[in-house]
Structures are given as C-alpha cells and as structure tokens.
Structure 1
Amino acid sequence: MNVFKIVRIPILPLQMVNAHLIIGPGGCILVDAGIPGAETKIERTLAQEGLTFKDIKLIVITHAHIDHAGSAAIVRERSGAPIVAHEGDEKHFSQEVPMTFCPTGWFARLYIKTPVMFRPYRAFAPDILLRGQETIDLGRYGIPGLIKSTPGHTAGSISIELDSREALVGDLIASGILLGGIARTGRARRPPFEDDPHAVARELNRLLASGVETFYIGHGGPLKAAEVERHASSLLLLPPALEHKRCGGDQPQ
C-alpha cells in the first residue's frame, strides 16, 4: 500500500504543461516548477491538498527548459526547500549558457522561431547537484524511491523512480498533440525537442526493465508501460546523426 500520492499540477490547461506533487506523510516533493509565474498554480494545488509552500521538502527540476525550471527560484524562496538537479544542465540553470534545441517535427521547427523557449527565467544554482550517475534516496523525505540521471531529452535530464512501479520522467516522453496534452493523451510521442532519441530509448527501456508500470510526464499522460515500450522501440529506428543536424540554439531575431 502506498504511503504517498501523486498529484498533477496543471501549469497550462488541457495537460499541455504539468508539474507534480508527491505527497507523503511528512510533507511533499515538488517535481518541476513550470513557467515563470507558475508559483500561483503550485500554491493553488497545494491549498487544495491542505498544504502550503512550507510543506515542500524538496524541489526536483527534471531539466532546464523554461516550462520546467521557470519558477524554481521563487518556489525555493517561498518554501525554503532545496533544489536538486543534474550537472548536465547546470550552466543553463545559471543562464551562463543558452539552451540549444533539437526539434522533433514541424510544430517544433515553427515554435523555435518564436521567443518563447528563449525567454530568460530567474537564474539559480541547485542546492543539490547530481553528478554523473549519482542517485538520491528519497527515503529521507518519506518517499520510497530514487532520483536518477536519465539523459536524452537534455544532457542533465533526471527522473524519479518510485518503489510503487511509478516514475516521473519530465520530458523523456510526451503524449497528445502539438506541445503535448490537448488530445490523444494516452498515445506516446516525442516531445517537441529532444537531444538524443537513442539515449531516450535506452533510458525508457531501463525503466521498463526495472518494472515501472506508469509514467507521469510534463506534457499529457500519464502513460502505461505497453505504450512506452512501443514508443521506445520506434525511437531506436531513428537515425540520431540526422536528428542532431537539426539542433539549434540561436535566439529568434
């Protein structure tokens, strides 16, 4: 029997952008912080669960894209909770180095021409920085599970793997249409941007082999194992060299 529950935070309507709370007996863990200004949505969901910012014990930022890290600094300020992230995205969190983006389809190639993904957010330095394949045991926060590196979407992408056979994987996978969500949320697809599809497939297959049955994601979802397995197989058919040629990071003029 689980001693915790996972609650989706709707950062944008129709599951287009999600953050999540993992609520345990002694407080909660926030997984991703949404776009700048999303602290109001986070606060609203906390209140619906009878909680406040002070009940957040840890903030996990799965990667440095603005729709996941945009409100991290202010949520840390209001909660006092430490931020954990991976060194692979460290210079993006600090805004020292701009993100680069590898579009996965026509929508992303149009989207990258807008300033949305390049908007600055309040820079921060993670309090806990995972290096390489280091893990964090969440038992100290009352949640049975681990934080692990799962590169592929970005170099510093991380996921939470719970003993309940559930995982929160950020943008390692998406569902729905366009940005994600909206419709067909049970159908797995690539997120709009993805650094290395083969690395993503390896991480998804590792999670499946470890027994994960339900995947909570940043856009759409959640997804069941069979659908994730189908998607991982399709990624291995892609030619990664061709994908990397489509990467770009220049800000739109």
Structure 2
Amino acid sequence: MSKIVRIPILPFQMANAHLVIGNQGCVLIDAGLPGSATKIERALSSQGLSFRDIEAIVITHAHVDHAGGAAELRERSRAPIIAHEEDLPHYKREVPMTFCPTGWAGRLFFKTPLPHESYTAFEPDVLLSDGDTLDLSKFGVNGIVKHTPGHTKGSISVELGSKEALVGDLLASGIFIGGLLRTGHAIRPPFEDDPQTVAKELFRLVDGGIERFYLGHGGALDAREVRRHAEALVRMHQQTKQT
C-alpha cells in the first residue's frame, strides 16, 4: 500500500507536487516551480525521509510549475527523472511552451509572469514513448507510469495499485484552481491543448478502476466527479460542432 503526501508549492492547493511512499521506496511526482526544493525537503522530513530516499522523479509535463525544479532536485537526490519524449524539446528549453487558455482564469493567468518563467534545462533519464508503460516497482512503488496526453502532448500520469492516480493537469478542482471553495468540483486547468483527448484518457482511467485522482491544481477528486467532468468535455465538443 502506498502513501500519498501532497506538497503545497503555492497556497490554497493552487499548485501541488506529491510524494508517493511505497514499501520499498519513495517517488516524487512533479518538481514544482524553480526554488521549490526547500518545500519538498520539508515534506520529506515530515515523513522521516530526505532527498536520498527519493528513488525516482516523475515529471507529468513541461509547464514551469511542474518541471521548474527538476534539475535541482535531480542534483540533490541523484534520482533519475522520468518523462515523455513529446515534451522533451520543452524540457531542453529548445522550444517555448504553447498555451491554450480554457477560460477567463487561463487568460488572466497567461498575462502574469508565472507561466512564462524560465527554468534550468534538463534531459530526462528515462523517456517514455507512445504506448510505453513504466513499472515503478523497481523504484519501490506499486504502480505504473503511462502516457496521458491532452493537457500537453507529453503529459504522463502515475496509476497506483491502490486504485489511485496522480494525473498532473489532466483536470483541476476548486475555485480558481485551488482549495478555497468547491474543492470536490472538477474544472478544466488554466491551459489545455486537446480537451477531447483529455476526456478519452479520463474515461480510460475511470473505466480501468481508478477511484481517486490527485491533481496538480486543487484537491483530490473521486471517480464519479472525474467521469462527470469527462462527459462535460464531450458535450462541449458536440456543442461546438453544432455551432
């Protein structure tokens, strides 16, 4: 059985990383913004752990609030970074990220410096390709990493044997991507490349038995709410086609 520890990178669950603590090891899911190492070290310490206990670092996608601290954390932990090749040009800082705002919050967020903040380039140690599944048991955790595109082309998620999943920014929750109000209500993240691909991946996860979803923005959601959100994305697409 794995233990999931949320690491608040920004207040009110507006940006989260997570620790997955298994029977034989610890895996960090996302690296937060540049300079997040102190917050992650504090979370590790609260569990009686240190950087040397991190066996692997999974980066769900290349946005700065998820990948920004990756280079520093690899240096401090000596743990390999796992990511997907579709986002590799962004990790290497060769190609700027593109942003497709999903509404007023995304458009407002896009005008702030945060999404455009630079971070230290890095090349992941383990690169997934389309269709790849990586078994995390070699890192002490009962789970797998799979490609779940839609938010970005190279987005990946962690599916645990406990029927829990850490899905990065496939969806978000709460008011203004946070934990102030309606924390159990799913919303679209501020940016999203392909909502219909997101819906497809969410349906796959729910139909595959995932019962609890942990998010990069906002609090955790149950499968029923995730299915409702995926169905709303499909309806949105149908309505767009009719207009």
Look up the match of 1:246: none
Distance in 2 of aligned mates of 1:174 and 1:100: 19
Give the drift of 1:240.
8.8
Displacement over 4 Å in runs of 4+: none
Distance in 1 of aligned mates of 2:238 and 2:177: 22
- Counterpart of 1:220 (choices 215, 218, 221) is 218
TM-score (norm 2): 0.96
Distance in 2 of aligned mates of 1:214 and 1:139: 20
Distance in 2 of aligned mates of 1:48 and 1:111: 32
Distance in 2 of aligned mates of 1:218 and 1:156: 15
Distance in 1 of aligned mates of 2:180 and 2:91: 28
> Sequence identity of aligned pairs in percent?
62
Look up the match of 2:44: 46
Counterpart residue identity of residue 195, structure 2: P
Do the aligned residues in 2 keep the contact of 1:185 with 1:221 (CA within 8 Å)? yes
Q: CA RMSD in A?
A: 1.5
Identify which range, 33-42 or 137-146, moves more after superposition.
137-146
Output aligned runs, 1:74-153, within 5 Å: 74-153=72-151
Structure 1: 5+ residue stretches without partners: 243-253
Do the aligned residues in 2 keep the contact of 1:214 with 1:224 (CA within 8 Å)? yes
TM-score (norm 1): 0.92
- Counterpart of 1:232 (choices 212, 230, 233) is 230
Give the drift of 1:132.
1.1
Counterpart residue identity of residue 184, structure 1: R
Distance 1:241 1:152, change over 3 A: farther
Look up the match of 1:35: 33
**Corresponding position: 1:200 with 2:198:** yes
Counterpart residue identity of residue 76, structure 1: R
Distance in 2 of aligned mates of 1:220 and 1:181: 6
- Counterpart of 2:177 (choices 162, 176, 179) is 179
Aligned pair count reads 241
Look up the match of 2:21: 23
Structure 2: 5+ residue stretches without partners: none
Do the aligned residues in 2 keep the contact of 1:138 with 1:147 (CA within 8 Å)? yes
Give the drift of 1:145.
1.2
**1:42-89 CA distance string (max 9 Å, x none):** 000000000000000000000000000010100000000000000111
